[in-house]
Amino acid sequence: MSTVTPPRTSRDAATTEGPRPGSRAGGGPFGPGQLLRALPAALRKLDPRVMVKSPVMFVVLAGSVVTTGLALADPTDWFGWAVAAWLWLTTLFANLAEAVAEGRGKAQAEALRGARTGVVARRLAGGREEHVPGTGLRVGDLVVCEAGDVVPGDGDVVEGVASVDESAITGESAPVIRESGGDRSAVTGGTRVLSDRIVVRITTGPGETFLDRMIGLVEGAARHKTPNETALNILLASLTLIFLLAVVTLKPFAVHAGADGETSVIVLTALLVCLIPTTIGALLPAIGIAGMDRLVRRNVVAGSGRAVEAAGDVSTLLLDKTGTITLGDRRAVALRAVRGVAEDELARAARLSSLADETPEGRSVVALTEERYGLGGQAPSGARWVAFSARTRMSGVDLDGLRVRKGATASVVAWVEESGGPVAGDARALADRIAEAGGTPLLVAVEDARGRRVLGVVHLKDVVKEGMRERFAELRRMGIRTVMITGDNPLTARAVAEEAGVDDFLAEATPEEKLALIRREQANGQLVAMTGDGTNDAPALAQADVGVAMNTGTSAAKEAGNMVDLDSDPTKLIEIVATGKQLLITRGALTTFSLANDVAKYFAIIPALFAAAYPSLDRLNIMGLTSPESAILSAVIFNALIIVALVPLALRGVRYRPAGADRMLRRNLGVYGLGGLVAPFLGIKLIDLLLSLLPGIG
């Protein structure tokens, strides 16, 4: 046992002001200050072991070393020095782009670390409480948290109800309720209990908590190349190789053109760097990091860049109903007895079946029978409790020959009919009336000496979250079909689906059916996103291409999905999809721009280079650059500066509007393809003019 002396409670650490992810520091507009701050990190990235991960930039680094060597061999050659200097700058600018993208999360990571350090846990061991550091907790440990305590680790509430301030993680200052038994049982390390007392079972080991993952994410430390990025890198590497061979075969011509050995190697290296796709090679990591960063600023924590990219192509969104589309605070509001049964008898049975039911629904039944029917008393001993499960959709108790069940209409009807018992004629009508209004009916039935029979219905009420309808309409405009899946009955499902405005719904779905539905959609070639909060959603969240767990949900759901929405907003997928699309579009646009650029540079340099040796090439020399050296140098300078010029676009992303994919593609090809062709001509000419003003050139 590692006891901390003097015992300090987690209260001491609670003073740390949490960051507000929604208004993140460092995520503001891009400025020169950011470049300066990122410089040390950019210099560190010059390490060849780091550089080799980007084949294009590695070639530039090699080029910088070679030209520097040649310049050293002939120190009076100003051209060699100039080329070498600009190649080093090209390499540095590429690293700077990545470092700036990473730097934007640093401040936030620091703030998040503050929520983690110094927290002391009150661990339960053999009925006693001991104080251990939060970092010393292991999976399965039980800890107590009372008003004022910082929750020392991720876990599930196994006892009690408490209001919790989660602003350190979510930035949202309104307290949330966390309670045992339901879909709102998960607590996150670093959040603070505001009232009451809960016992938490720790579910994640040290170093793997949600807070740790978030810190790794905003720092970019947890970043891996996505399959798309890898594919693009392979393409860029192949192009680089092709140009390398092409340039090497130019060597005899360069010698013929009058350049001597050393100069020709410098010229050819410069030419190579201008021709290979350095722009996209330099900006590729920054684009990916910035995409993740944009999501974090929308309060979505994504586990992988791959999921963000998949989100850009999602065509179907499946949503769980309770806790996702509705607030999930499903409470018993009324009891309706069937004809011939007294409401009190129904109330007693409903209460008995719920005394050990730790779900919010169960506890709300107990509360209702106390408030409305004045019932009291603890759970009797000797009872066999039947816990609720999403598969049986029932809960209840067996006690001295008396059996009580409550649950979904179909399940309880089946239970009664199984024994040949009659289902009172008005039971279904009572249930349907509740369901048609969007409520959830729970049938209550008993089995005693007279056999099994239905006593009545509990009306569970839930509220559809605000603004759903407009947001689902927006998803429709993005071309995404929304399907609500719920374990609830078809009538309730229809009513809620209509109120929320989803395209379709699937009712009475078991976890297996949720899973099967996703597999079916995927088999049809759809990319599926799933949004859910419950443990019974976990398999579906894991199977979906994009699984977004509500932060209010269970740890199982959060583990299974590949994103967590800190705002628990089921329509957050709009932003997630937009971010994903923006990431894909930005990468596509800058790749187009980069390749078009290289083509233009080719035509700008080659004629200037060889015009002397091959006068017929002079007709191609439309740019009329001052001299071959100036042409080469201008191209190299342009090639370096364009990287810095495009950093803001790489970080901000190309604007995405919900429009047809074809139109977007055509527009971007036009803008970035044509722009990429024209820009070098203008830029190189301008730089050439400026260079010609320098003494000694021209």
By DSSP bridging, strand 481-485 and strand 504-506 are parallel
Whole-angstrom Cα distance, residue 14 to residue 493? 42
Segment interacting with Mg ion, rule: CB under 5 A, options 42-50, 299-307, 533-541, 639-647: 533-541
Whole-angstrom Cα distance, residue 644 to residue 688? 19
Whole-angstrom Cα distance, residue 643 to residue 94? 7
DSSP structure class, residue 537: G
Segment interacting with Mg ion, rule: CB under 5 A, options 21-29, 372-380, 531-539, 672-680: 531-539
Give the total residue count for the chain.
Answer: 698
Are 88 and 42 within 8 A, CB to CB? no
Cβ of residue 391: shortest distance to ligand ATP, in angstroms?
Answer: 8
530 is in an annotated binding site: no
Cβ of residue 330: shortest distance to Mg ion, in angstroms?
Answer: 9
Q: Nearest residue by C-beta to K ion?
A: 278
Nearest to 39 by CA among 119, 86, 103: 103
Nearest residue (CB) to ligand ATP, 212 versus 357: 357
93 is in an annotated binding site: no
Binder to ligand ATP among 172, 320, 521, 629 (CB under 6 A)? Answer: 320
Cβ of residue 556: shortest distance to Mg ion, in angstroms?
Answer: 12
Cβ of residue 244: shortest distance to ligand ATP, in angstroms?
Answer: 57
Residues 268-327 that bind Mg ion (CB under 5 A): 322
Q: Nearest residue by C-beta to Mg ion?
A: 534
Cβ of residue 60: shortest distance to K ion, in angstroms?
Answer: 9
By a kind-dependent CB cut-off of 5 to 8 A, residue 278 interacts, out of Mg ion, ligand ATP, K ion, none, with: K ion
H/E element holding 216? helix 210-219
Whole-angstrom Cα distance, residue 51 to residue 614? 38
By a kind-dependent CB cut-off of 5 to 8 A, residue 348 interacts, out of K ion, ligand ATP, Mg ion, none, with: none
DSSP states of 122-136 as a string? EEEETTEEEEEEGGG
Instruction: Verify whether residue 149 is a known catalytic residue.
Output: no
Q: Which residue has the tokens 């300078």?
A: 637
Q: Does 395 bind ligand ATP (CB under 6 A)?
A: yes
| 461 backbone dihedrals φ, ψ, rounded to 5° | -115, 140
Q: Is 260 helix (H, G, I), strand (E, B) or coil?
A: coil
Site string for K ion, 202-241 (x = CB under 5 A): ----------------------------------------
Q: Does 486 bind ligand ATP (CB under 6 A)?
A: yes
Whole-angstrom Cα distance, residue 154 to residue 160? 16
Binder to ligand ATP among 63, 362, 628, 683 (CB under 6 A)? Answer: 362
Cβ of residue 363: shortest distance to Mg ion, in angstroms?
Answer: 16
Cβ of residue 547: shortest distance to K ion, in angstroms?
Answer: 39
1 is in an annotated binding site: no
Neighbours of 359 (CB within 10 A): 19
Nearest residue (CB) to K ion, 278 versus 409: 278
Residues 104-143 that bind ligand ATP (CB under 6 A): none
Q: Does 64 bind K ion (CB under 5 A)?
A: no
DSSP structure class, residue 303: S
Q: Does 534 bind Mg ion (CB under 5 A)?
A: yes
Q: What is the dihedral of CA 74, 78, 80, 84, to 10 degrees?
A: 120
Binding footprint of ligand ATP, residue count (CB under 6 A):
23
Whole-angstrom Cα distance, residue 151 to residue 647? 40
In the structure, how many helices (H) and strands (E) does the chain have? 23, 22
388 is in an annotated binding site: yes
Binder to ligand ATP among 299, 364, 440, 552 (CB under 6 A)? Answer: 440
| 514 backbone dihedrals φ, ψ, rounded to 5° | -60, -45
Segment interacting with K ion, rule: CB under 5 A, options 81-89, 275-283, 508-516, 538-546: 275-283
Whole-angstrom Cα distance, residue 71 to residue 248? 20
Nearest residue (CB) to K ion, 275 versus 611: 275
Radius of gyration from C-alpha coordinates of the chain: 33
Segment interacting with ligand ATP, rule: CB under 6 A, options 107-115, 255-263, 316-324, 372-380: 316-324
Nearest residue (CB) to ligand ATP, 10 versus 552: 552
Residues 522-551 that bind ligand ATP (CB under 6 A): 534, 536
Cβ of residue 246: shortest distance to K ion, in angstroms?
Answer: 14
Tokens of 224: 């891996």
Burial of 426 (0-12, 13-18, 19+ CB in 10 A): middle
Segment interacting with Mg ion, rule: CB under 5 A, options 30-38, 410-418, 526-534, 557-565: 526-534
Q: Is 328 helix (H, G, I), strand (E, B) or coil?
A: coil
By DSSP bridging, strand 316-320 and strand 481-485 are parallel
391 is in an annotated binding site: yes
| 179 backbone dihedrals φ, ψ, rounded to 5° | -145, 160
Are 259 and 251 within 8 A, CB to CB? no
Cβ of residue 275: shortest distance to K ion, in angstroms?
Answer: 6
Residues 379-408 that bind K ion (CB under 5 A): none
Q: Does 309 bind ligand ATP (CB under 6 A)?
A: no
By a kind-dependent CB cut-off of 5 to 8 A, residue 21 interacts, out of ligand ATP, K ion, Mg ion, none, with: none
Binder to K ion among 95, 278, 326, 395 (CB under 5 A)? Answer: 278
Residues 319-338 that bind Mg ion (CB under 5 A): 322
Cβ of residue 390: shortest distance to ligand ATP, in angstroms?
Answer: 4
79 is in an annotated binding site: no
CA angle 275, 280, 284 (to 5 degrees): 150
Are 373 and 332 within 8 A, CB to CB? no
Are 382 and 400 within 8 A, CB to CB? yes
Whole-angstrom Cα distance, residue 228 to residue 249? 32
Q: Does 511 bind Mg ion (CB under 5 A)?
A: no
Q: Does 321 bind ligand ATP (CB under 6 A)?
A: yes
User: One of 320, 565, 569, 688 is an active-site residue; which one?
Assistant: 320
Binder to ligand ATP among 57, 274, 368, 394 (CB under 6 A)? Answer: 394
Tell me the CA distances in angstroms from 219 to 36, 43, 294, 299, one per residue in order: 18, 18, 13, 15
Whole-angstrom Cα distance, residue 411 to residue 539? 23
Whole-angstrom Cα distance, residue 253 to residue 264? 10
Tokens of 501: 């405005």
Binder to ligand ATP among 361, 565, 575, 629 (CB under 6 A)? Answer: 361
State the residues that interact with K ion by CB under 5 A. 278, 639
Binding residue positions:
357, 361, 388-395, 406, 533, 537
State the residues that interact with Mg ion by CB under 5 A. 322, 534
State the residues that interact with ligand ATP by CB under 6 A. 320-323, 357, 359, 361-362, 388, 390, 393-395, 406-408, 440, 442, 486-488, 534, 536
Binding residue positions for ATP:
357, 361, 388-395, 406
Q: Which residues are catalytic?
A: 320
Binding residue positions for Mg(2+):
533, 537
